[in-house]
């Protein structure tokens, strides 16, 4: 079956712009996670959803970052007033429940010029 | 979560067995040991998890000594396609988020 998909695969933007990154989880998976991975580092947790609600957003670096999952399926990570330091690969993962294996998407590579 | 220490990088050759050791001196009683694999331009992928002794699946084996303060991921007869970053994680399996370290960059040479 289809895995986790993320769009776009690459996004180049200018400093100060707004971006949206999309994640389509595996069908039926109730939990959805966002991570950020900088070059040479392991993925860093940002936020996770159980259904439509954000169960833990402790990893969001500041209030420029926001994520939604309005219908409990697709999620969008939104970054306002992008900064060069936001450049990274943004990974999405989903799992059947929060106690089961997380399946990762290929990521969106964000470059802020 | 228990802190883990693993080599930053390793090189090996095709056909060899590769062992990557992870230290986790402060592992708690309820903690499990989990390994993830990440290929270039892909997200991480779960490969194996264990609590004690030995676990084997179609991809790898995981050896955990009695004191559980370390563990060894064993990849039999590696190929070029095993070139990836391998992350050792320690924590409870029912976990709402994964805390990754820097991992071990394994480079397989022909």
Nearest CA to B42 among A5, A74, A107? Answer: A107
pLDDT in tens, B4-21: 999 999 999 999 999 999
The Cα of B1 is separated from the nearest Cα of chain A by a number of Å equal to: 14
The predicted structure's pLDDT at residue B100: 87
Helix and strand numbers (H, E) in chain B are 0, 9
Find the CB nearest A107 among B43, B85, B93. B43
B45/A106 Cβ within 8 A? no
CA A6 to chain centre: 9
**pLDDT of B109 higher than 60:** yes
Per residue in B31-65, pLDDT tens?
Answer: 899 999 999 989 999 999 999 999 999 999 999 99
What average pLDDT is seen over chain B? Answer: 92
What pLDDT, on a 0 to 100 scale, did the predictor assign at position A44? 94
B1 pLDDT tier (thresholds 50, 70, 90): low
Task: Tell me whether residues B99 and A40 touch, CB distance under 8 A.
Answer: no
pLDDT tens digits, chain A, 113 residues: what are they?
Answer: 589 999 999 999 999 999 999 999 999 999 999 999 999 999 999 999 999 999 999 999 999 999 999 999 999 999 999 999 999 999 999 998 877 788 999 999 999 99
Q: What is the pLDDT of residue B82?
A: 96
Is B96 within 8 Å of A101 when comparing Cβ atoms? no
Burial A18-38 (b: 16+ CB within 10 A, else e): ebebebbbbeebbbbbbbbbe
Does the beta carbon of B39 lie under 8 angstroms from any beta carbon of chain A? no
Distance CA A106, CA A92 (A): 8
Q: Which residue of A has its CA nearest to B97?
A: A45
Contacts of A108 in chain B (CB under 8 A): none
DSSP state of A26: P
- Smallest CA-to-CA distance from B102 within B4, B10, B1 is with B4
Check: CB of residue A15 under 8 Å from CB of residue A84. Answer: yes
């Amino acid at each position: 079956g289809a895995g986790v998909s993320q769009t776009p695969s690459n996004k180049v933007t200018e400093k100060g712009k707004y971006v949206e990154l999309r994640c389509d989880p595996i069908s039926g998976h109730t939990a959805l996670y966002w991570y950020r991975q900088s070059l040479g580092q392991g993925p860093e947790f940002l936020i996770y959803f159980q259904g439509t609600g954000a169960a833990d957003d402790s990893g969001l670096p500041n209030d420029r970052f926001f994520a939604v999952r309005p219908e409990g399926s697709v999620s969008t990570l939104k970054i306002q007033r992008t900064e060069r330091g936001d450049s990274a690969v943004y990974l999405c993962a989903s799992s059947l429940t929060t106690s089961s294996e997380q399946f990762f998407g290929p990521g969106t590579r964000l470059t802020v010029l | 979560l228990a802190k883990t220490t693993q080599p930053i990088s390793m090189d090996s050759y095709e056909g060899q067995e590769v062992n990557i050791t992870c230290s986790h001196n402060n592992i708690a009683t309820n903690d499990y040991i989990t390994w993830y694999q990440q290929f270039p331009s892909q997200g991480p992928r779960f490969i194996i998890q264990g609590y004690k002794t030995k676990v084997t699946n179609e991809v790898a084996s995981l050896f955990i000594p009695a004191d559980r303060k370390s563990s060894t991921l064993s990849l039999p007869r590696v190929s070029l396609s095993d070139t990836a970053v391998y992350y050792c994680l320690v924590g409870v399996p029912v976990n709402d988020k994964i805390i990754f370290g820097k991992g071990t960059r394994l480079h397989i040479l022909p």
